[in-house]
Structure 1
């Protein structure tokens, strides 16, 4: 089902489709993070990626909870956006030989992922509220709060040392 497919006729349909999109994205992220963990040389960055992997696994469980609350079975739809962000991260990481520059590249890629997730969760929360589902919005808000916190931590790491070392 494409985003502008005839299968999406209502805001509820769009909500479910977007839920399937972020569910796919979070699952792809759990596959990408172990590679990022293994490539990161900065111990704090590696630890941050490990922590985010655990958070992402919990976020997937929350998404499954939202599917159930909304009377749906958890299902994924391909998300070309996250696939592209992850592909770009892998390509850039493969081209960087300086380990400190690699850490900066990995951190930037992680922030691109976070920003994508933030936009999706924000939209889903707004739609859940519009659909009269504050229960779903509340669960999705937990994921959004974690994404904001992760982005803030990544920014602090970049500004405090990772970017300086790469320079």
Structure 2
């Protein structure tokens, strides 16, 4: 779909973000299971819970617009997931898999931060201040998750990953 106005652009972006969050709930659970380090497992587990809350908030935004929640495939997210699946077919060493998963988590957080960072001002411009506030909560949690993963990644690279 090609958006012809800000309302359509917002709705389309919201649908893609809804898709993203739904896909990442499953991906985070898989990466948690794959990780050998407790700190990595905990980070993915906690963010999976937050991601479910993000889905709930997005569903609330759809309700505010008197629409049923609808997901629209986001090819960037689909590509990240496909890359992860392809990586796994090479049966990587556990240490390499842990580091790959940290990087994959960071990539998805950056992407989500960009998505929310674009949706929020559009919602505000459309006079949807309550929706913008809900999306802002998601954005802050994505930024916190990125910060946590970045810290874990740095510690991991120096062999100093904390145990939870």
The TM-score by the shorter chain falls in which range? over 0.9
For residues 60-80 of structure 1, give each alpha carbon's deviation from its aligned partner in whole angstroms, at most 9, with x where no partner exists.
Answer: 000000111122211011111
> By how many angstroms is 1:93 displaced?
3.6
| Aligned: 1:109 with 2:104 | yes
Paired residues in the alignment total: 160
Normalised to the residue count of structure 1, the TM-score between the two structures is: 0.91
CA distance in 2, matches of 1:134, 1:81: 28
| Aligned: 1:57 with 2:52 | yes
> By how many angstroms is 1:96 displaced?
5.0
Higher RCO by CA contacts (8 Å cutoff, separation 6 or greater)? 2
CA distance in 2, matches of 1:96, 1:42: 18
Equivalent residue for 1:126? 121
For residues 85-139 of structure 1, give each alpha carbon's deviation from its aligned partner in whole angstroms, at most 9, with x where no partner exists.
Answer: 1111222244353211211100000111101100000000010111111111100
Equivalent residue for 2:132? 137
Equivalent residue for 1:83? 78
Bigger shift: 30-39 or 45-54? Answer: 30-39
The RMSD of aligned alpha carbons is 1.5
| Aligned: 1:70 with 2:68 | no
Equivalent residue for 1:32? 27
| Aligned: 1:164 with 2:158 | yes
CA distance in 2, matches of 1:74, 1:32: 21
Identify unmatched segments of 5+ residues in structure 1: none
CA distance in 1, matches of 2:25, 2:81: 11
SS in 2 for 1:64: helix
CA distance in 2, matches of 1:97, 1:60: 32
SS in 1 for 2:73: coil
CA distance in 1, matches of 2:158, 2:96: 10
SS in 1 for 2:158: helix
Identify unmatched segments of 5+ residues in structure 2: 160-164
